[in-house]
Each structure stands twice: as structure tokens, then as C-alpha cells.
Structure 1
Amino acid sequence: MGLGNRATDDGPVTFTAEEVEYDQTSNTVTARGRVEAWQGDRVLRADEFTYARDTGVATATGNVALIEPDGQTLFADRVELTDGMRDAAIEGIRGLLASNARLAAAGARRTGGTVTDLARVVYSSCDLCPEDPTRPPLWQLRARIATLDSTEQRVRYRDAAVEFGGVPLLYTPYFSHASPDAPRASGFLSPTFGQTRFLGGFLELPYYWAIDDHSDATISLTASTKQVPNLGATYRRRFNSGEIALEGSVGSLENTDADGYGGHIFAQGRFTLDENWRTGFAVNRASSREYLQAWRYGAPRVLTTTAYLEGFWGPEGYARVDSMLYQGLDAANSTSLTPFVLPRGYADYVFPTDSLGGRFTLDASAFSLFRSSGTDTRRIATRGNYELPVMGDMGEIWTFRTQADIVGGWVDGLALAPTYGDASGDGFYGRGHVRTAVDWRMPFLRSAGEYGSQIIEPRVQLVTGPATGAQLRFPNEDSLDFEFTDANLFSLNRFQGRDRFEGGTRVDAALRGAWLFPNGGQLEGLAGRSLRMATDETFADGSGLENRSSDWVGRLRLAPVSWLEMVGRARLDRETGEGRLWDGTATVFGGPFSLSGGYLLTNPAPNVTTRKREEFSLGGTLRVNENWRVGVFGRYDIGLDRPVAAQASATYEDECFIFETRFVRSWAEDPSTRADYTGGTLLLFRIGLKTVGDFGLRAL
């Protein structure tokens, strides 16, 4: 049934009901029984509905439900509607909002269809106790007056208090937060306060600015008792083809090694040019590491600035060109020796499988490195690799590999021998190298009946190629970090880069065994080593490959059941069997908990570390129940006989509340070791009231 409304031009009010009466004297329509009335996108349901056609006033009583165009639902004892259901006076209001939010008030008045003023308001996003719905929720916000503005999508409170379990703990004369259904809204975010040794007591107040549908910004002011205020800002924007993000700050620092004004900028962007190409950049600069650490922007050792262009052609082709500028923030780093890379390029292509089943791969690379002092290097290199697997009549697997390299370049200022070059002079250098290998594997499989199956697989590889010598007259920019393990036992060139080649003739051999259990578990292990015809002076002492016979390498993995896994790797001295590398981890999964432990022992690595490292770690997580989870982690340095790091955390989360606490303690390393972490203590508390905001407390 449709009824004309002279008070508004929004169209007629339409309703359905079980019973309808019309009083001609008063020109009033009364509907009873499952009444549903609507006008436009607004819907009202009630037990009884009265509509005065002369005045356009509608009154609903009994189990009233008013459904707004945005999907929010208001329940009330009695509602009086005017102006085509846009204005309303509501008694005994209860609201079900977005994101599980609930609202109740003694009364409310809506004007213009957009602003609703409420009296004696209670707001929460917590579920009520199913056993006792009258019990106060975990938290609720109680206020004398509240205003809901659907246009601005904000909720504002006057004389508000936050109650936990019905007990008021926080009071504020004014409080505002975004409406639960608001996707993005400008306004102040929850503050963070705490205490650190650099700042003393501090308060960080961020303001979020929703600029438009594609961009936003956050401006933060941090005030402290020991330093002048710091101003930080972030800006983000999305484009049809990509996105950018900018972060920066300005401020000063007193009573440190980096006194005076400082700042930082972290910026990055990525853009898609077409279906094959994309480009991007990253700009990271800071006045000092002390500044970043003091103002809680992190404490990295090195900042990298780069710009790149890269292309993808399915799984077959890839290309990239970029440049890099490094800023060393650690006092142990020499800024003059840090290179500036302009440019660096790399491309590779995997050709289709040939008629024999082999595959050919070709790549090319080039770079230019510049330093304010030391070596400047320009290099171009290419590598071709061919691999052909063949299955023998007896089930053996033969793999034939060939790898060829050509490298050429120009070096200026050779003064950093042997790491970056030889001190004999500057000029052009060029060389090439070829390696060929035959790899044989013979897996033997036998059934163990009800205990599963067993595999024994011997593997032997013969690699041959020209001897390379010490190669010290060539600069080494990309092959400094090297570790001999089972992972690269059968690699043609165990150096990851192109500045060092492994030449000569050698034999790699290993024996692998596995026991596959019926339940899906397994026990698997491998042990092997290399034997070469002549020593290779390219490998430094302690690398495990400096002699004709290498150290022993191996691994062992035991996963007998789904809740236990142990993995270990080792490198043992070729003569004495002394451990040069032990790396083992064990993890136990037990439904709501996991526990892991690890042990690591390494000898000094050439060009990387100067001392033996031996430490163990232990950590675990436990989900106590549906809401609580805790975690602990610790690392102990056996050589220095002291802890390295310790961490503990506890988190509670339910449908409306988050509580997180975290304790982190790190112990500063001996400066002579050039450690990459600094000592300190962090204590963090975070309280989150869902749909309202987060509150943080941090101490350092």
C-alpha cells in the first residue's frame, strides 16, 4: 500500500501489515501486525504503525527496528518519524552497527537524515555474556551525549569514560573516533607514550589525513623530556599503474655522538609499464644511526638507495638494470670504501628443451663500481650453461653439464689486495673459463614391509676444466661470502659470483640414505666430500676446500612423526674430524604449542668474520586458549659466555579487544667483532579497543 506524503518530495511511504485501519475523520492510517514500512532505502519494522497523512508524521511502537541505507540497524521502544522517515525522535534506542559494534541510549533525535544526537550513551564492540547478558562487557564507552554523523562518518562523545568490566578507568571531556563502517576518515590516531634512554619520557601524537580515494598521509609529532620535538610524516598514493610511499622526519639530538639537527627519508615506489616491464625506486638516507635509533625509526647498519627497471617473459626470460648508492651507518664501516653502483645490468634466458631432453641457459651481466678511495671496477660477463639428464637401463641417472664463462673489465686504483684487487697496477683484464661435469646417481630402493621403504643412493660427479691459479690479480666484488656445505657440494662453481672461478679437475662423491615410514615420516641423511687433482689457492684457509681433499660435509633430517622434525648440517675437518660447522635445529609441534631449539658453531669466515662463533637458541609459542598466546625466545653466545638476545611476548585477542605485551633484551657485542646489533631493552604494551583505537606504551 502506498500513502502520499505532503511533508516531503522523496516519494510515498509504502508499507505492508496484517491489519490496516483508516480513520477518515483524522485522515490517519493505522497498521498492526508485522508492519514493514519503507521509503527509498530506509526500512522500518514494528508491531504497530500510525501514519497521519495531513502532517506526514509516522509513529511506530512495539519491537521497532529501523534499517538505515548503509545497513546499520537501530532498535527502539518507540519512534516518531517526520520528513519522509529522515527525521526521528527515538525512545529506548539500541543499535547494531558495522564491525560488531553495539550502541544503546536512553533516547535519540535524528535530523536531516544524517546526524543523530543520543543521550546517556553506551558503546562497545564486545559480545555480551551468553550466560548473563546483564553483565557488563569487557569494555564499553559510556558518555553523557554522543553524536553520530553519517556524512562525516564519525562518532563524537561528551563527558566520556572507558569502563572495563563495568569499572570506569579512563575519563575524557571529549572523544571522537571514526564510525565503524567508515573505510577511511581523517582524524587523530591513538597516541603512543613511554620512556627511552635517549628521549626520557615521550608522547607521540599522529594525525591521519585521508586526502582522497587514492592517497593519504600521517603526520606525527613526538615530544619528549630530553629532546626538542620531532616531526615525522608519511605519504602514500596509489596510481593505476603503481604506488609510492614516502616517510621522513626532521628533528635534533642532544647528548649523543650525533648532536645537532638531523632527519631521514625513506621512499619507495613501483610502477608497471606494460605486461612485461616494471620500474621502481627506493631512496633511503639518514643523518646518523643514532638519530634513527633515538627517534624509533630503526637502527640499520646500511641504507641502500636504488632505481631499477626489470622485465619478465614468463619462466624463460628475465632482465634488470639498476643503480645502487649505499650509506654506511656503522662506525666500523669505511664510507670511502663503500661503492656507488652505476649502472648494473643482468639478463638471462632459458631456451626450450631440445630433442635430447637437455636445456640451455644463457645470461649476461655488467656493472660499474666507483669509490672515493680504493678500487673502481667496470665489468661485463656472460655465462652459458647446458644440462642434459639421461636415464640408464638399470635405473641410474646420468646428468651431463657444461658451463662456460667470459669476463672482462677495467680496474682503476687497485689498492685493496686481495679483497678488491691486486696492487700491481690498473688497466684492462679479461679471462674465460669452461667446466664440464658428468654426474652419476644410482638410487637403490627396497621394501621394509610394514616399516616402509628404504633408499640408498650413491652419487659421484666428475668435474674438469682449466686450472685458474690464485686469481689474486683480479678484483673480487661479488664472491666474498663463501661457505662450503652439502648444499653446494655438487655445484660446478662453488663461488656464487663471477669474480672467482673454481678450476682444475675434481671428483665429488656422496652417499645418501633415506628410510620412508608408512605414516609419511622419514629419516634422511647425506655425507660427502671432494677430491681434486691439485690444490686451488683461490680458496682461503679455513674454507674447507683449500687442500686437495676437502672437509667432510653432511646433513641429517629426522621427521618420524608429524609433530617432530630435526635437521642438522655439519662440516668436519678432513683429517681430525673436528667440527668446523655445526648447524642443527629441532622443532616439536604439539597442537597448541611449538618448541624449537638450535645450535650453531662456525669457524672464522674469510673476508667476513674474525672470530669463532658458537651459540645456541631456544624458543617456543603456546596458544593457551582461544584468546591467549605466549612466546619466548633466547640466544646465548657460548664463546663469550653471555646472552645475545632474549624475548618474551603475550597476546590476548577476542572480538573486541587486543592486549599485547613484549619484552626484548639484546646485549651489545664486543666492538672488535663489528656486530650488527646494538644493546638495549624494549618493553612494549599495546591495548586495542576494536572500532575505537589503539593505545601504546613503550619503554627502552
Structure 2
Amino acid sequence: MPGLSRSGAGTPSNAPVTFTADEVEYDRDRALVTARGRVEAFQGERILRADEFTYDRNSGVATARGNVQLLEADGQVVFAESAVLSNRMRDGVIDGLRALLAQNGRMAATGARRTNGEIIDLARVSYSSCNTCERDPLEPPLWQLRARVATWDQPARQIRYRDARLEFAGVPLLYSPYFQHPDGSAPRQSGFLSPTFGVTRYLGAFAEIPYYWAINDSEDVKIAPIISSRQAPNLGAEYRRRFNTGQIAVNASVGYQVREESGSGTGFAGHIFARGRFSIDETYRTGFDLNRATSETYLRTWRYEPRRVLTSSAFVEGFWGQEGYARIDGRAYQGLRSTDDVSSIPFVLPNIYADYTARDGIGGTWTIDTSDFAVFRGTGTDTRRGATRLRYALPYTETTTGSLFTLRAQGDLAIYSFDKLDEAPNLVTTGSASGNSTQQNIRVGLDWRLPLVRDAGIYGSQLIEPRVQFVTGPVTGLQARVPNEDSIDYEFTDATLFELNRFGGRDRQEGGSRVDAALRAAWFFPNGGQIEALAGRSYRLNTDGGPFYAGSGLENRESDWVGRLRLSPVPWLTVLGRARADGETGERRLVDTSATVSYGTGSFTAGYLYSTAVPYITPVREREEVALTVSQRFGANYRASVGGRYDLGIHRAVLATASAAYEDECFVLEGRFVRRFAEDPATRNLYPGNTLFLIRLTLKTVGDFGFRAI
């Protein structure tokens, strides 16, 4: 008996049907086959179950009665009180249909008509993805779509409603003469996505109506036009594609900027954020990042991920297990603020890095690398550099006392060619108009640690670990003649206390002899908690202050004190802190701490940050901020949070956030408020779009509906 399949489901419509039953009768006079008792008919991956099944061989009409179930290959299940099927069971009338669809979708109808095994027309239909109430299964679900008639287009995997209404807890709230959504069985389908509506001071009333186009199995496009009452339409698009060897993703937009918040600025505007990654073979990979935009104001206004600086690059890199790595790339930067000096923003081509690691026969590790680049600017300094570094580390454990020794050595060689294009002030400076220079440095260090562990019995274990390192090498001086491209941004903390060269780059080299010392203490509790603290400083033996700026913590022979603290004695309390204090006066120079207290279903997090002014961050001023976040869950479905940051130095809030949400298996309702106080340095006005108020309603398997105000 052929014909249980639907078109495109993977089982031929004329595939043979086999069935089992408790008893089977065949009436030769009427050519009628009757099966009773736990009837199961199989066709490919599809199963039809019923209490009774009859098949008239003359008319080709099959009738299933009693607890009828049709199990589709994709996991969807159709239930019915009875079904009369014809045309090789491709057409039929179904009484009392109920369907369990993919992603927990549930549909019911008083009656249905199936045509050509593909289209099911439904009468007085309801749909929801909510579970029924365990106490009262007849109680209306949290939400449901109800309609006078509907069509379940199985090949298109869509459900289309006529005269549809959305009910919450049985109460009608919304009406639509036509509504359509996927049946949940397809992972991705073309069609309109849920729109977003809102109102802002800058855009006025607006609507975003996205359309999703599933081009094929490996690529798709989302087109999202935004229409507003005060601005010209904006068109955003996102394109994604996967290849056998990689993938690309492009997010772009274009619009016409009628005016900015400051009252000036008119013209076409847009952005493009693109990313690609491709595997050449098992060793090599290539890729690119393209990020450009007309302004930060444009990105903030239209909510396109606002960024301060955009970086574009293209690269090729290779991996050789844990031994070797190499990369060559080119980079271009774009500053988006009106105060940026565009002519001094660098363009880097090429930028080369490679390293190789090897082990010797006595347990030591050798690493050699090269870091080379060419930097070009319109104004400032053009720099070409070739640099190499050789490092060696040899650990040794003295078994009598338990001391841990590590011998480390590092040699640097860098060759420069540079041109100073003008006298414009910037951090990348050279002492002459142009020239060549060679810089070399050798650092050798012997690191000693003595971990002293004490068993505290039922209270866990305790650790005291003194650590001393002696580092020596030639005195390097101020190095003012060499351009500083990669060593401008550095910070002296406990994390860099024992580095041979405290600069992260190569253009500035620490020299001379010094002693680094720290004391670490910890208490480890049986419950997994711990208390850990460290304090230390560095002592330079020579009088040369080196290339450290005032206030860095390393400009004097005796460095600042650095320390860290981790306090988590119980699961509900965690305190993390890092600090730096003036080596002579003890005055604070850096404090970065946070504390989290968890209580039941909630948590409380507070933070404090203080740092002295540094020359590489504009504006040059002290930073002192406090932050607070409180989050709480209420039962299994509700959650809420509130938080913010406040700048104590300028007596102004930096950020304020609040959110609340309800979520269960079929429904999400979320409200979110975000207020940023970032401002344009040129006008001192807040950026457009710094305030966001979002309400998102999600009917799972149907779509998201949002309202946004900024």
C-alpha cells in the first residue's frame, strides 16, 4: 500500500508499505483489508499508528480510527481521532487533528484536509509552543495563536493563518488578517523576520523590518532597512558564507545623515565590518578584517556597534605544532572621533612575526623570534624596524631545601631606519629629522623561590613563598633617538614585576642591574576556598633611571610597591584586588579591586578603580571610578539586574544599566535600559544614541518583537 509520504521528505511516495497488527481480516468479496489492535504501518522512516485500519482495494481509500498517530521522518507527530485517506493516501480528511511539531510546537484543529500529501488545510486552529498546565491540561496556555482557518504547507515548512489573533492566558490581545511563521522543522528559511519599532530623539519614530534570505546551504543574507520620521532611510545588510576551507561575514550599512546631534553634518554615511578566515592547508591560514565607518556618531546613532578605533588587516600565518609560528600582515587604522589627527594615524606594511621553540638535553627551553615592521604616516615619524630576540630558560629544583631556581636569559637586537616628517608633537619621537640606529640588549636573571607549605589539619594548608630575582645587563639609557612604536602602553604591576624587560614591546629596553623581591602567602581551605596575597618591589643597583616616564613606578631606583589580593574563603564571597603604591610615600598610584557576594539566587558586585595620569591616554588625568551591579533571580523564570559606574574625578556617571526579564520554555519578555555618558571631545556633547530602552517579546518558534527608544 503506497503513499504515506509527503513530498520532499526523503521517502518516495510509491515506496512499499508494511504493517503489523494484532489481527488482520481480508474480505475477498469487497476487497477490503481490515487490521485491528495496535496497528503500525511503515513506509520508509514514517509510521502510522491506529487502533483500527481499513483499506478498500477497489477505491484506494484507507481509513484509520482510534488514537491515530502519524510520525514524520523529521520528528513531527500528527494525532487524530480518525483519518480518511485516498489517492494512495496522499489526500484525505482528518478529524480532531493535533500535531506535535519541531521545537515543542503544538497545533490543534477541529478538522483538516490533506491535499497531494503536502498541504494541510486546517479549520479552527490553535498553535503554541507552551507546555500544558500539569494541574489542569484544559487551561489555556500562556500564549497561543488562534485562527479561523490555516494552511500547513509542509514542503515550504510554513504555517499561514487567516483571521489570526494572539491570546495570552486565553485573552485576545492582537489581531491580524494574515500571519505566517515557520513550522520549526527547517533550521533556516527565507522570509521576513520580526520587526522592531521605536522612537528616539534623533530618528523620531522608526521601524526596522529585516528580511532573511537563505541563499543555499552555505550562505545567507539579512537585509534590514530602517525607516524613520526624522532621517532618510538607512539600509543595513549582513552576508555570511561558509566554504570548505573557511568562512566570510560582512556587516554593512549606508544612509544619508541629515544632521548630527550638534546640529551640523549632512551627507552620505555608512560602515562596513567584514571578516574572513581561510585554511590553505593543515599548516597555513590566511584571512582579513575590513572595518571602516564614516564616524563614531553614525555608529552610535544607528546602533551599529560603536567603536573608538577601527583596525583593518590582511594576513597569512603558519602553525608548526608547539614549536613554531609565523605571521605576516598589513594593518590600517581609522580613528572615528573629530579630535583625531588623521595624518598621524599609522599604516603598517609589512608586519612580520615568527618564533621557534626547542628544548635541550638538560631541561632548558630555547626560543628565537623576529618582529619586523614598516610604519608610514602623513605626519610624525616613519619607521622601519627589524628585530630579533633569543630567550633561554632553565629550571632547577634543589631537593634538600625545596628551593626552585630558574635561570633566564634574553638577548635583543633591533635595527632602525626612520624619518621624522615634521615637528608635530606625538609620543613616537626621534631626536633628529631622520637616520639609522641599532639597539641591542642582553638580560640575564636568576630567579629563586622557596615554597614553604604547612599542613593545617582540618583547616586546610598554608603557604609562605619568598621570591627573589637578580637581573643584570648593560645600562641602556633613555633611548630617545629610537622611535617608540610598540612600547608606549605599559603598566607596572605584580604581573610584570619579575619580567626581564618590563616593556611589552622591543622599542624600549630596560637595562642595568636590579633585584626583584616579593612575598606570597596563601591559605587553602578544605572547601576549595582560599586567601592569597602578594607584595613586592624592585631595587635598581645603578643610578640611571632608564626610559620610564614619571609616575610609571619604575623611574626611581626603588620602585613602587605592587601587590595583589584574592579572598574567597567561602563559595559566596570573592574579592580580587591589585594595587600599586609610591615607594617613598606609600601614596596610592593604582587600585583595581572588585568584590562579589552571592546569596541564594542573587549576587552583588562592587568595584573600585583608581589610576594616576598616564601620557598615552587622552585626556591626561587621574581616573577614579566606582561600579556596582546587583542581579537577582526570582523563582525559575524571573530575573532582574541593575548596575552602573560613576567617575569620582569629574563627578559624573559613566554608565547606568537596568534589566528585567521573564523566560520559560515558550516565552521571553525582557526590558533593558542602558545610559552611557560618553561625549564628543570636540563639542563636549553626549553622542546620539547614548540612551537605549528596549522591550523584547519573544514567542519561541514564532519570532521576536521589539520596541526600542534611544
Are 1:581 and 2:587 counterparts?
no
Equivalent residue in structure 2 for 1:230, among 207, 231, 234: 234
What's 1:338 paired with?
345
Q: Are 1:276 and 2:276 counterparts? A: no
Q: TM-score, normalised by structure 2?
A: 0.94
Counterpart Cα distance in 1 of 2:3 and 2:348: 77
Question: Structure 1 residues 562 and 456, CA, compared in 2 at 3 Å: closer, same or farther?
Answer: same
2:405 pairs with 1:401: no
Greater Cα shift, 619-628 or 492-501: 619-628
Counterpart amino acid of residue 108 in structure 1: A
- Determine the structure 1 residue equivalent to 2:388: 382
Offset of residue 288 of structure 1: 2.0
Q: 1:445 to 1:135 in 2, by over 3 A?
A: same
Alignment of 1:540-579 (within 5 A): 540-579=549-588
Matches within 5 A, 1:141-156: 141-156=145-160
**Alpha carbons of structure 1 residues 20 and 331: separation in structure 2 relative to 1, 3 Å:** same
Q: Which residue of the partner structure matches residue 692 of structure 1?
A: 702
Q: 2:491 aligns with which of 461, 483, 508?
A: 483
Deviates more, 1:58-67 or 1:665-674: 665-674
Q: Determine the C-alpha separation between the residues in 2 that align with 1:413 and 1:364.
A: 25
Query: Quick one: distance in 2 between partners of 1:242 and 1:229?
Result: 34
Corresponding position: 1:211 with 2:220: no
- For the pair 1:594 / 2:600, whether they are aligned, the reply is no
- Residue 297 of structure 2 aligns to a residue whose secondary structure is helix
Which gives a bigger RCO, structure 1 or 2 (Cα 8 Å, sep 6+)?
2
Query: How far did residue 321 of structure 1 move?
Result: 0.7
Cα offset for 1:669?
Answer: 5.2
Deviation (angstroms), 1:423:
4.1
Q: CA deviation at 1:645?
A: 0.7
Partner of 2:529: 521
For 1:518 and 1:239, locate their aligned partners in 2 and report how far apart those are by CA, in whole Å. Answer: 51
- The 5 A counterparts of 1:649-664 are 649-664=659-674
Residue in structure 1 matched with residue 63 of structure 2 by the alignment: 59
Corresponding residue of 1:603? 612
Q: Is the 8 A contact 1:417 1:423 kept in 2?
A: no
Partner Cα distance (1:463, 1:600) in 2: 32
Aligned to 1:433: 441
AA of the residue aligned to 2:110: A
Give the partner amino acid of 1:660. E
The worse-fitting range, judged by mean Cα deviation, of 443-452 and 146-155 is 443-452
Q: Counterpart of 1:624?
A: 634
State TM-score, norm by structure 1.
Answer: 0.96
What's the CA shift for 1:673?
Answer: 12
- Aligned-partner Cα distance in 2 for 1:543–1:10: 81
Percent sequence identity is 58
Give the superposition deviation at 1:156: 0.9
- Counterpart amino acid of residue 365 in structure 1: S
Structure 2 counterpart of 1:671: 681
CA distance in 2, matches of 1:441, 1:4: 79
**CA displacement, residues 98-134 of structure 1 (integer Å, 9 cap, x when unaligned):** 1111111111111111111111110111001010111
Q: Does 1:181 align with 2:185?
A: yes
Residues in 2 aligned to 1:678 and 1:496: alpha-carbon distance in whole angstroms: 37
Deviation string, structure 1 residues 535-570 (Cα, Å, up to 9, x no partner): 324111111111111111111222212221212111
Distance in 2 between the 1:403 and 1:528 partners? 23
1:644 paired residue number: 654
Q: Secondary structure of 2:210's match?
A: strand
* Distance in 2 between residues matched to 1:296 and 1:449, nearest whole Å: 57
Q: Give the conservation status (yes or no) of the 8 Å contact 2:353–2:371.
A: yes
Distance apart, 1:96 and its partner CA: 1.0
State the distance in 2 between where 1:519 and 1:22 align: 73
Q: Which residue of 2 aligns with 1:502?
A: 510
Q: CA deviation at 1:675?
A: 12
Asked if the contact 1:543–1:606 (Cα under 8 Å) also holds between the matched residues in 2, the reply is no
Please name the residue that 1:297 is paired with.
Answer: 304
CA shift at 1:418, angstroms? 6.8
Kindly state the Cα deviation for residue 178 of structure 1 after the two structures are TM-superposed.
1.5
User: What SS does the corresponding residue of 2:354 show, helix, strand or coil?
Assistant: strand
Q: Partners of 2:424 and 2:384 in 1: how far apart?
A: 16
Equivalent AA in structure 1 for residue 445 of structure 2? A
Q: Tell me how far apart the structure 2 counterparts of residues 422 and 509 of structure 1 sit (CA, whole Å).
A: 35
* Alignment of 1:167 onto 2:171: yes
- Residue 8 of structure 2: aligned partner: none
CA distance in 1, matches of 2:574, 2:337: 38
What's the secondary structure of 1:524's corresponding residue? Answer: strand
Task: Work out the CA distance in 2 between the residues paired with 1:677 and 1:548.
Answer: 45
- Supply the AA of the counterpart residue of 2:498: F
Structure 2 regions of 5+ residues with no counterpart?
5-11
CA 1:84 to 1:95, structure 2 compared with 1: closer, same or farther past 3 Å?
same
Q: Is the 8 A contact 2:3 2:88 kept in 1?
A: no
Q: Report the Cα distance in structure 2 between the residues aligned to 1:521 and 1:461, rounded to whole angstroms.
A: 30
Match of 1:467 among 464, 475, 480: 475
Q: SS in structure 1 opposite 2:202?
A: coil
Shift of 1:9: 8.4
Separation in structure 2 between the aligned mates of residue 260 and residue 289 of structure 1, nearest angstrom? 15
Give 3-state SS (helix, strand or coil) of 1:487's partner: coil
CA-CA distance at 1:416 after TM superposition: 5.0
**Are residue 445 (structure 1) and residue 453 (structure 2) matched?**
yes
Name stretches of at least 5 consecutive residues in structure 1 with no aligned partner: none
SS at the partner of 2:187?
coil
- Note if contact 1:126-1:139 (Cα within 8 Å) is conserved in structure 2: yes
Letter in 1 for 2:529: G
Q: Deviations over 1:331-389 (max 9, x none)?
A: 2211111000111010011112x222111111101101111111111111000111111
Q: Does 1:534 align with 2:540?
A: no
C-alpha distance in 1 between matches for 2:465 and 2:688? 47
State the alpha-carbon separation in 1 of the partners of residues 513 and 2 from structure 2: 98
* One-letter identity of the residue aligned with 2:460: G
- Check the 8 A contact 2:670/2:695 in 1, yes or no: yes
Q: CA deviation at 1:677?
A: 8.1
Q: Give the aligned partner of residue 9 of structure 2.
A: none
CA distance in 1, matches of 2:454, 2:24: 86
Deviation at 1:282, TM superposition (A): 1.0
In the TM superposition, what is the alpha-carbon distance from 1:68 to its structure 2 partner? 2.9
Does the Cα contact within 8 Å between 1:405 and 1:434 map onto a contact in 2? Answer: yes
Partners of 2:671 and 2:275 lie apart in 1 by 31
Q: In angstroms, what is the RMSD of aligned CA positions? A: 2.1
Structure 1 counterpart of 2:362? 356
Read off the aligned partner of 1:615 and give its amino acid letter.
E
Q: Is 1:512 matched up with 2:529?
A: no
Amino acid at match of 1:517: F
Determine the C-alpha separation between the residues in 2 that align with 1:383 and 1:101.
61
Aligned CA distance change for structure 1 residues 601 and 672 (closer, same or farther; 3 Å): farther
**More divergent stretch after superposition (515-524 vs 11-20):** 11-20
Measured against aligned partners, the alpha-carbon deviations of 1:388-444 in whole angstroms (never above 9, x if no partner) come to: 111123211111111100001111125356721224220111111101111111222
Deviation string, structure 1 residues 191-216 (Cα, Å, up to 9, x no partner)? 01111222111001111111111111
Please give the alpha-carbon distance, in whole angstroms, between the structure 2 residues aligned to 1:417 and 1:205: 48
**C-alpha deviations, 1:220-276, integer Å up to 9, x for none?**
111000011111211111100000111222210112133111222111110001111
**Pair 1:233–1:524, CA change in 2 (3 A):** same
Aligned counterparts of 1:3 and 1:223: Cα–Cα separation in 2: 53
For residues 77-92 of structure 1, the aligned pairs below 5 Å read: 77-92=81-96
Name 1:612's counterpart in structure 2: 622
Compared with structure 1, are the counterparts of its residues 432 and 570 closer, same or farther at alpha carbon in structure 2 (3 Å cutoff)?
same
Alpha carbons 1:115, 1:147 under 8 Å: kept = yes
Give the match for residue 264 of structure 1. Answer: 271
For residue 486 of structure 1, give the secondary structure of its aligned residue in structure 2. Answer: coil
* 1:466-506 deviation line (CA, Å, top 9, x unaligned): 11111111110111112111111111110100000011111
Mapped to 2, the partners of 1:70 and 1:287 lie a distance apart of: 47
Count residues in correspondence: 696
